[in-house]
Amino acid sequence: MQNLSGAISASAQKSGVLISWDSVCNFVLVTHKDGTADLYIQHIPMSAEILAKRDFKAGEMVFQSGVADVRRIQIPGLEVKPDDGVIVCFKVGWKFALFFDLATDRHLDSGGVERSLGRLYRLLSFQDLYEALSDQKLFDQLVESGWFPFVEISGGEFQKLLKAYRVDFDIDAEKQRLIDKFDAARIDAIADRWRNRPSLTGRTKILNSALESFKRNDSVACLKTLLTEMEGIIQEVRIAETGTGTSIKKLLEYAAEKGVKKTGDKESLLFPKQFLHYLSSYTYAQFDPKNPDTGVFSRHSVGHGGAKPDAYTQERALQAILTVDQLSFYL
């Protein structure tokens, strides 16, 4: 940045423009084939193309808690030609993003620039999530407990739970605070969203039964219903697309691939690669009914009647709801 800002300052000064970098938090430089350049500095309008968690009305404020993924960042009114070069620097919170493409032997892909800016914005806005998932020990601890940065709770709520796990303090209390936030109104909002999901609409009666069970604290009915429906949800989508069904292992891989295609980025906030690990290691963890492991609570242990009565908790019921919800964003 020192080298870039120094070079820009020197060129700007030749044109009679003095730049005080101490007061700058964003800028765009577009270089041209003829050796000239346009510098846009400070107060640059930017717009984000996002995948929203729910429907928003025109003019309604969208906070980070309402964002499921950031696909691209656009700069309205900025025209970039194929033979131009570009440098973009912008601020997210107390952090800065830098993108540059000054190669002279290619045509600049403006769409690719926008996607790259979106990726940078996403990484800085949700840096705590990306760092947690790259910390294998912490991630394994979360998965073993049944937690994941599900779309519904990312953007604030999961981060509070994550902080408790990081410092190993007040974990149970933080989990309970999260569970308590899923009151009847919030569960009803999830039910409304599911009714509009093509992959779930044909199962509304069954899924509503599970959600109603959660509302009355019947975690047994909720878990028995949702954990046995998940495979059918994915299988139905795959059959409609390919004409054939497949094994559960292939189904989970298929769901993850759909998550990548949905956003066009395997490092999106849907975290498809990590979610595949979650599904395989927790939701569909192996279970041997002949030699049951009481520590395993999964679709298989529930389906084979091997899960202990006290394992059916509201915490696990909420995790199952959030898992189905996550799949609905993928499929």
Q: What is the model's pLDDT at position 105?
A: 85
The span from the CA of 233 to the CA of 194, in Å, is 12
Q: What is the model's pLDDT at position 302?
A: 87
CB distance 92 to 48 below 8 Å: no
Instruction: Among 67, 90, 125, identify where a domain stops.
Output: 125
Give the helix ranges, DSSP H, for the chain. 2-14, 110-125, 127-134, 136-144, 157-167, 171-180, 184-195, 204-215, 219-242, 248-263, 272-278, 299-303, 314-330
For the chain, give the percent of residues with pLDDT over 90: 84
Residues 20 and 119 in one domain: yes
For the chain, give the percent of residues with pLDDT over 70: 98
Residues 75 and 158 in one domain: no
pLDDT band at 154 (very low <50, low <70, confident <90, very high): very high
Cα-based distances in Å from 5 to 1, 13, 15, 38:
6, 12, 15, 14
Domain assignment of residue 102, given as a range = 2-125
Residues 116 and 134 in one domain: no
DSSP β-ladder status, 67-74 and 47-52: antiparallel
Instruction: Among 125, 148, 163, identify where a domain stops.
Output: 125
What would the pLDDT profile of 223-252 be if each residue is shown by its tens digit? 999 999 999 999 999 999 999 999 999 999
Q: What is the model's pLDDT at position 120?
A: 97
Q: Which of 9-23, 54-68, 135-149 has the highest mean pLDDT?
A: 135-149
Residues 113 and 173 in one domain: no
Average pLDDT of the segment spanning 249-266: 95
Residues 163 and 116 in one domain: no
Average pLDDT of the segment spanning 114-120: 96
CB distance 85 to 101 below 8 Å: yes
Average pLDDT, the chain: 93
Residues 240 and 293 in one domain: yes
What would the pLDDT profile of 71-99 be if each residue is shown by its tens digit? 999 999 998 999 999 999 999 999 999 99
Instruction: Among 71, 98, 125, identify where a domain stops.
Output: 125
Residues 185 and 260 in one domain: yes
Average pLDDT of the segment spanning 24-46: 93
Residues 139 and 120 in one domain: no
Of the candidates 22, 26, 39, 43, the residue with the CA atom closest to the CA atom of residue 91: 26
Residue 253 predicted with pLDDT over 90: yes
List, as one string, the DSSP characters of 195-211: HT-TTTGGGHHHHHHHH
Q: What is the model's pLDDT at position 287?
A: 75
Cα-based distances in Å from 81 to 6, 41, 100, 110, 111:
25, 19, 15, 8, 12
Q: Tokens for 127, please give them.
A: 């840096």
What would the pLDDT profile of 276-321 be if each residue is shown by its tens digit? 999 999 999 887 776 656 556 888 888 778 888 898 999 999 999 9
Of the candidates 95, 102, 110, 88, the residue with the CA atom closest to the CA atom of residue 44: 88
Residues 233 and 247 in one domain: yes
Residues 198 and 322 in one domain: yes
Higher local confidence (pLDDT), 101 or 106: 101
Query: Phi first, then psi: what are they for 95, rounded to 5°?
Result: -125, 155
Residue 164 predicted with pLDDT over 70: yes
Residues 256 and 228 in one domain: yes
Residues 291 and 186 in one domain: yes
Query: Phi first, then psi: what are they for 48, rounded to 5°?
Result: -115, 135
| Total structural domains within the chain | 2
Q: What is the model's pLDDT at position 104?
A: 84
